[in-house]
Amino acid sequence: MAANAKFWDRLAKRYARSPVSNEAAYQTKLAKTQAYFTPDSRVLEFGCGTGSTAIVHAPLVGDYLATDISSKMLEIARGKAEGIGNLRFEQGVLEDVSAPEGGFDVVLGMSILHLLEDKEAAIAKVFDLLKPGGVFVSSTVCMERGGILKVILPIGRYFGFLPLVRFFAAGALEDSMKTAGFEIEHSWRPIPKSALFLVARKPA
């Protein structure tokens, strides 16, 4: 965790200035996610970065907890979120999150599952955190082969220039969700080879 946190700390200011790569797709994902919200929803977002998505969603729900391993990312997020009373930012990893009584209604993992050491463990943890009938919304870069990146990324990670990145196909991610007990409710890629947007429901 420490090495990854330092990497994202160094990147935080540049990350905050970076524009969304596909604004239309991002807005579609926001709208599809918000369709699962109610004014009383308890929401967890892990890997929240500088909080842009959390800030958009939080006014629509009852309680919103956003976590990240990077203190610098969260510092920027808190500055942007001033005045949103039901939004909390906490530093930490998914494994450390405890479910509120009854569980979360919605858990978000946006652009994060491919950056984790063990996506299966993360998906299983999300399943446990959700209440029956709750949904896991994720957007994940799915690269089965990786090409030259499979060579470059480990070298860059060794020297601290690049993060951990895992390679797996979109179908493999869906299989991981099903193995954990989820039912796939929505699966969408704006264009071929773009990030896979999934809504997976925990059976009631």
pLDDT at residue 4, as a whole number: 81
pLDDT at residue 132, as a whole number: 98
CA separation for the pair 173, 113 (Å, rounded): 9
Cα 109-47-143 angle, rounded to 5 deg = 60
pLDDT at residue 162, as a whole number: 64
pLDDT at residue 76, as a whole number: 97
pLDDT at residue 138, as a whole number: 98
CA separation for the pair 123, 125 (Å, rounded): 5
pLDDT at residue 149, as a whole number: 63
- Tokens found for residue 162: 């690049």
What tens-digit pLDDT sequence spans the chain (204 residues)? 555 888 899 989 998 999 998 999 999 999 999 999 999 999 999 999 999 999 999 999 999 999 999 999 999 999 999 999 999 999 999 999 999 999 999 999 999 999 999 999 999 999 999 999 999 999 999 986 656 666 566 656 666 666 778 889 999 999 999 999 999 999 999 998 889 999 999 999
Cα 60-197-169 angle, rounded to 5 deg = 155
pLDDT at residue 151, as a whole number: 59
pLDDT at residue 161, as a whole number: 64
The CATH architecture of the domain made up of 2-201 is 3-Layer(aba) Sandwich (3.40)
Domain segments of the chain: what residues? 2-201
CA separation for the pair 113, 123 (Å, rounded): 9
pLDDT at residue 167, as a whole number: 84
User: Edge-to-edge strand order for the sheet containing 63-68?
Assistant: 87-91, 63-68, 42-46, 104-110, 130-140, 196-201, 183-188
Q: Which of 52, 59, 57, 46 is nearest to 20 (CA)?
A: 52
CA separation for the pair 37, 147 (Å, rounded): 39
CA separation for the pair 187, 165 (Å, rounded): 22
Q: Which of 5, 60, 19, 66 is nearest to 37 (CA)?
A: 60
CA separation for the pair 103, 44 (Å, rounded): 10
